[in-house]
Amino acid sequence: MKPVGSSKFGTLIFHLFLLATVLGMISASLVLPFRARQLPLLIGLPTALLLLLSVLGELKPGLARRFQGGIGGLFVQGMGDRRGAVVSSLAEPELPPFRCLLIGGAWFCLLLALVLYVGFLAATLLFVPCFLLVLARYPWWRVFVYSAILFVVES
């Protein structure tokens, strides 16, 4: 069994796929009239730039580590005697255990099945209180308040 962080190739392929999708969206929007292409370009260009930086970060990890300290780390040279915050290596978040993933997936499938069979309004009014009582273990009065707010918002 491979360690979790060993699939850099898969991550790179996924980033390249996302980049190709965004570039396809940008190229498709270029044939639209000026006013219609503004929103896809407004979303697509910064997204493509960030994805390109992400791909470069996957290819050259040293380059990505240089920017993890935030903007303060970029100005350390110009501060004179005053030093910027020490850039420490960021701890990678732990992945949830597989059991938690299965439980979350089961709750999601239950919500999807309820929406398909009884409709959105009824499904959310059945699902949210059950989820809050069973999994989140909220007190019944808080579940009642949240369900009432949900009902008012959805109605």
Domain tally, the chain? 2
Contacts of 138 (CB under 8 A, 6+ apart): 132, 146
- Spatial separation of the C-alpha atoms in residues 152 and 132, rounded to whole Å: 18
pLDDT, position 84? 47
Residues in the chain: 155
Residues 11 and 62 in one domain: yes
3-class DSSP assignment, residue 123: helix
Whether residue 5 has pLDDT greater than 90? no
The whole model's pTM is what?
A: 0.42
The tens digit of pLDDT for each residue in 72-118 reads 555 555 554 445 444 445 555 665 677 877 888 899 899 999 999 99
In a domain, 135, yes or no: yes
Instruction: Verify that 17 and 59 share a domain, yes or no.
Output: yes
Does 62 lie in the same domain as 13? yes
> What is the chain's mean pLDDT, rounded?
79
In a domain, 89, yes or no: no
Cβ atoms of residues 13 and 46 within 8 Å? no
User: Which domain does 32 fall in, by range?
Assistant: 4-76
Share of the chain above pLDDT 90, in %: 32
pLDDT at 63 over 70: no
CB 22 within 8 A of CB 51: yes
- Residue 119 three-state SS: coil
